[in-house]
Amino acid sequence: MDDYEKGMSACFDAAKTWMAIPAPKRGEIVRQIGDALRAKLHHLGRLLSLEMGKILPEGIGEVQEIIDMCDYAVGLSRQLNGSIIPSERPNHMMMEVWNPLGVVGVITAFNFPCAVLGWNACIALVCGNCVVWKGAPTTPLITIAMTKIVASVFEKNNLPSAIFTAFCGGAEIGQAIALDTRIPLVSFTGSTKVGQMVQQQVSARFGKCLLELSGNNAIIVMDDADIPLAVRSVLFAAVGTAGQRCTTCRRLLLHESIYQTFLDQLVEVYKQVRIGDPMEKGTLLGPLHTTASKESFLKGIQNIRSQGGKILLGGSAIESEGNFVQPTIVEISPAAPVVREELFGPVLYAMKFQVVNNPDLCVIHLLYMALISLS
56-70, 145-159, 194-208, 333-347, range with the lowest pLDDT? 333-347
Tell me whether residue 282 is in a domain: yes
Query: Does the active-site annotation cover 212?
Result: yes
Please tell me the pTM assigned to this model.
0.89
Tell me whether residue 115 is in a domain: yes
Q: Which residue segment(s) compose the domain that 271 sits in? A: 217-353
Q: 196 and 286 share a domain?
A: no
Can you point out the beta strands (E) in the chain?
84-86, 93-95, 103-107, 130-134, 164-167, 185-189, 208-212, 217-221, 249-255, 310-313, 328-331, 347-353
* Domain stop point among 188, 212, 236: 212
Tell me whether residue 363 is in a domain: no
Q: 129 and 46 share a domain?
A: yes
Among the options 51, 58, 62, 212, which is catalytic? 212
143 confidence band (pLDDT: 50, 70, 90): very high
Tell me whether residue 372 is in a domain: no
* Domain stop point among 147, 182, 212: 212
Q: Are 131 and 161 in contact (CB under 8 A)?
A: no
Q: 296 and 190 share a domain?
A: no
**pLDDT beyond 80 at 6:** yes
Q: 39 and 147 share a domain?
A: yes
Q: How many domains does the chain have?
A: 2
Tell me whether residue 332 is in a domain: yes
DSSP letter (8 states) at residue 110: S
CA–CA dist 88, 86 (Å, integer):
7
Tell me whether residue 61 is in a domain: yes
244 confidence band (pLDDT: 50, 70, 90): very high
Bridge-based pairing state of the strands 130-134 and 84-86: unpaired
* Domain stop point among 171, 197, 212: 212
Read off the pLDDT of each residue in 277-295 and give the average, rounded to a whole number. 94
**pLDDT beyond 90 at 368:** no
What mean pLDDT value characterizes the chain? 93
**pLDDT beyond 70 at 161:** yes
- CB neighbours (10 Å) of residue 346? 26
Q: 36 and 163 share a domain?
A: yes
301 confidence band (pLDDT: 50, 70, 90): very high
Q: 31 and 172 share a domain?
A: yes
Q: Are 180 and 5 in contact (CB under 8 A)?
A: no
11 confidence band (pLDDT: 50, 70, 90): very high
Read off the pLDDT of each residue in 168-172 and give the average, rounded to a whole number. 92
Question: For the domain that residue 145 is a member of, what is the CATH number?
Answer: 3.40.605.10
Q: 244 and 198 share a domain?
A: no
In this prediction, residue 182 carries a pLDDT of: 97
Of the chain, the percentage scoring pLDDT greater than 90 comes to: 88
Question: For the domain that residue 294 is a member of, what is the CATH number?
Answer: 3.40.309.10
Neighbouring-strand partners of residue 220: 253
Tell me whether residue 103 is in a domain: yes
Q: 17 and 123 share a domain?
A: yes
360 confidence band (pLDDT: 50, 70, 90): low
Tell me whether residue 94 is in a domain: no
